[in-house]
C-alpha cells in the first residue's frame, strides 16, 4: 500500500498537460478500497450505552473500532480541509430509544459514507483517511483534529490553487449551471428508482411471510382432528385423504418462503444499497454546489461591497480635507481589502476548478447504473428460477387431491382459455 501523500504533493490523476481533466475509470475508483462496517454486539459505556462499529479496510489490511462520534469528527475535519470537494453527509445520530431497524440503517449509511470517502481521489491519498482507518489508539478524535490544526484547507496547501483560473474553460459558469441542472435531474430519477426498488424488495419479503402463513394454514387444516359426520364417513369421504396431503405441504411452502426472503435480501443488498450509494454521492454534489454559492461566492460579493463603501469613504475624506492620519488609515484598510478580494477571487476560481473535477467524478460513477440494473435482472432471474423449481416439485404432490367419485384421479379444474376473458 502506498503511503498517503500530503495535498501539496498530490494532484488528481490527470492526462499530461491539463491537471483539471481526470482519467479515472469506475473500476479504478471501486478498487481503491473496500471498507466493511460491522456492528459490535456489546454496548460499552459505564453510564450511557453506545453503539460501536468494527471498521475493516482491505487497502490498509487492518480493523479498528469506531463510535458514531468518531465519524462525526472525521466528517468535520474533511469539510474543514476539503471545503471545495464532495464530502458525503453522515446519517442522523438519534440514539434514544433507537430500534434495531434504525441502528442497521445507520450502519449501512456509515458504510456507504466511508467507502465513498475511501475511493475519492484526494481523500484516498490524505493522511486523515489513513489515520481514521488504521489508528488503533483511544483518542482518535484528538489525533484527527491535530492533523488539521494549523495546516489550512486545500486551497492553502495545493500548489496549483493560485493557477486554477488558467486551467478553467472560458465558459466555466455556463458549464457549472448546466451540470448542476443535469445532476439535479439525475438525482430525482434515481430517487424514484430507489423507492421502487425498495418496494420490490419489500414485496418479496412480504410474499415470503404470506407463503409461510399459507403453508402453516394448510398444515393446520390437515391436522384438524374434528370427527366427520356419520353420513360423510359412510359415503367414503375423500376428506381424510385430502387432509393427509395438505398436512405435508407446509414444508414446500416454507421452502418457497425462504427463496422469496433470499431474493428480497439480495435485492436490498445488490440493488437498493447501490442506488443509495449513488444517491449519497449525488447529494454530496448538490451540497457542494450550495457551499460554493453560499460560501465563496457570497463572501466575495460582500468583500466587493465593503471595498466599494471604503472607496466612497476615501473620496469623501479627500473632498473634506480630513487629517492625513485618518486618510492614511483608510488607504491602508483599502489595500488590505484589495488583498482580501484578490484572495477571494483566487478561492472562487479554485472552487470552480474543484467543482469541475467533482462533476467529472459524478460522470465516472454513472456506469454504476448498468451494475445496478444487471444486479436487479440477475436477482429476478435467479429468484424466479429457484421458486419455479420448488413449485414444479410441489405439483406432483397435489395429484392425490384431485380424486373423482370413484377414487380415480382427475385433473384440476381450469376454465378454457377462450372463455377466461369472455364478456
Q: In this structure, how many other beta carbons lie within 10 angstroms of the beta carbon of residue 48?
A: 8
Strand partners, 57: 35, 62
Cβ pair 116, 37 in contact under 8 A: no
Phi, psi of 286 (to 5 degrees): -60, -40
Cβ pair 282, 186 in contact under 8 A: yes
pLDDT value, residue 228: 76
Cβ pair 296, 351 in contact under 8 A: yes
Give the per-residue SS3 of the chain.
Answer: CCCCCCHHHCCCCCCCCCCCCCCCCHHHHHCCCCEEEEEEEEEECCCCCEEEEEEEECCCCEEEEEEHHHHHHHHHHHHHHCCCCCCCCCCCCCCCCCCHHHHHHHHHHHHHHHHHHHHCHHHHCCHHHHHHHHCCCCCHHHHHHHHHCCCCCHHHHCCCHHHHHHHCCCCHHHHHHHHHHHHHHHHHHHHHHHHHHHHHHHHHHHHHHHHHHHHHHHHHHHCCCCCCCHHHHHCCCCHHHHHHHHHCCHHHHHHHHHHHHHHHHHHHHHHHHHHHHHHHHHHHHHHHHHHHHHHHHHHHHHHHHHHHHHHHHHHHHHHCCCCHHHHHHHHHHHHHHHHHHHHHHHHHHHHHHHHHHHHHHHHHHCCHHHHHHHHHHHHHHHHHHHHHHHHHHHHHHHHHHCECCCCCECCCCCCCHHHHCCC
pLDDT value, residue 43: 62
pLDDT value, residue 293: 84
Give the span between the Cα atoms of 46 and 44, in whole angstroms. Answer: 7
pLDDT value, residue 151: 86
pLDDT value, residue 245: 80
Q: Which residues contact 76 (CB under 8 A, 6 or more apart)?
A: none
pLDDT value, residue 15: 44
Tens-level pLDDT at each residue, the chain (423 residues): 444 444 444 444 444 568 999 999 999 999 999 999 999 976 655 555 678 999 999 999 999 999 999 999 999 999 999 999 999 999 998 765 668 888 899 999 999 999 999 999 999 999 999 999 999 998 999 999 999 998 888 988 899 999 999 999 999 999 999 999 999 999 999 999 999 999 999 999 999 999 999 999 999 988 888 887 777 666 656 777 788 788 888 889 999 999 999 999 999 999 999 999 999 999 999 999 999 888 766 565 665 555 566 555 555 655 556 565 565 666 666 667 666 777 788 888 999 999 999 999 999 999 999 999 999 999 999 999 999 999 998 888 887 676 555 555 555 555 454 454 444
Give the span between the Cα atoms of 205 and 210, in whole angstroms. Answer: 9
Model pTM greater than 0.95? no
Structural domains for the chain: 7-161 (3.30.1520.10), 201-402 (1.20.1270)
Amino acid at each position: 500500500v502506498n503511503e498517503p501523500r500530503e495535498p501539496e504533493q498530490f494532484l488528481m490523476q490527470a492526462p499530461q498537460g491539463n491537471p483539471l481533466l481526470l482519467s479515472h475509470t469506475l473500476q479504478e475508483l471501486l478498487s481503491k478500497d473496500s471498507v466493511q462496517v460491522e456492528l459490535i454486539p456489546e454496548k460499552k459505556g459505564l453510564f450511557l450505552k453506545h453503539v460501536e462499529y468494527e471498521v475493516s479496510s482491505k487497502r490498509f489490511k487492518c480493523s479498528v473500532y469506531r463510535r458514531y462520534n468518531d465519524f462525526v469528527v472525521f466528517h468535520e475535519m474533511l469539510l474543514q480541509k476539503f471545503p471545495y470537494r464532495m464530502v458525503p453527509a453522515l446519517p442522523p445520530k438519534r440514539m434514544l430509544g433507537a430500534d434495531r431497524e434504525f441502528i442497521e440503517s445507520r450502519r449501512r449509511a456509515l458504510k456507504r459514507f466511508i467507502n465513498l470517502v475511501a475511493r475519492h481521489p484526494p481523500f484516498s491519498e490524505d493522511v486523515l483517511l489513513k489515520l481514521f482507518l488504521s489508528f488503533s489508539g483511544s483518542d482518535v478524535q484528538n489525533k484527527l483534529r491535530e492533523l488539521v490544526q494549523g495546516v489550512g484547507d486545500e486551497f492553502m496547501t495545493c500548489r496549483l490553487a493560485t493557477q486554477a483560473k488558467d486551467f478553467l474553460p472560458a465558459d466555466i459558469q455556463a458549464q457549472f449551471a448546466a451540470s448542476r441542472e443535469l445532476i439535479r435531474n439525475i438525482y430525482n430519477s434515481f430517487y424514484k428508482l430507489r423507492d421502487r426498488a425498495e418496494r420490490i424488495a419489500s414485496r418479496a419479503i412480504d410474499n415470503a411471510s404470506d407463503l409461510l402463513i399459507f403453508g402453516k394454514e394448510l398444515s393446520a387444516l390437515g391436522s384438524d382432528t374434528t370427527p366427520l359426520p356419520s353420513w360423510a364417513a359412510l359415503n367414503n369421504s375423500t376428506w381424510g385423504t385430502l387432509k393427509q396431503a395438505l398436512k405435508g405441504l407446509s414444508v414446500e411452502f416454507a421452502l418457497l418462503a425462504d427463496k422469496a426472503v433470499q431474493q428480497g435480501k439480495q435485492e436490498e443488498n445488490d440493488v437498493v444499497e447501490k442506488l443509495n450509494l449513488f444517491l449519497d454521492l449525488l447529494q454530496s454534489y448538490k451540497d457542494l454546489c450550495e457551499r460554493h454559492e453560499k460560501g465563496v461566492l457570497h463572501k466575495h460579493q460582500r468583500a466587493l461591497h465593503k471595498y466599494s463603501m471604503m472607496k466612497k469613504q476615501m473620496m469623501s475624506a479627500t473632498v473634506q480635507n480630513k487629517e492625513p492620519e485618518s486618510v492614511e488609515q483608510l488607504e491602508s484598510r483599502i489595500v488590505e481589502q484589495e488583498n482580501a478580494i484578490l484572495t477571494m477571487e483566487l478561492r472562487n476560481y479554485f472552487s470552480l476548478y474543484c467543482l469541475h473535477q467533482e462533476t467529472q467524478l459524478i460522470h465516472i460513477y454513472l456506469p454504476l447504473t448498468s451494475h445496478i440494473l444487471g444486479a436487479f435482472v440477475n436477482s429476478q432471474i435467479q429468484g424466479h428460477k429457484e421458486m419455479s423449481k420448488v413449485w414444479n416439485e410441489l405439483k406432483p404432490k397435489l395429484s392425490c387431491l384431485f380424486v373423482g367419485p370413484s377414487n380415480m384421479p382427475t385433473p384440476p379444474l381450469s376454465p378454457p382459455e377462450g372463455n377466461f376473458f369472455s364478456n
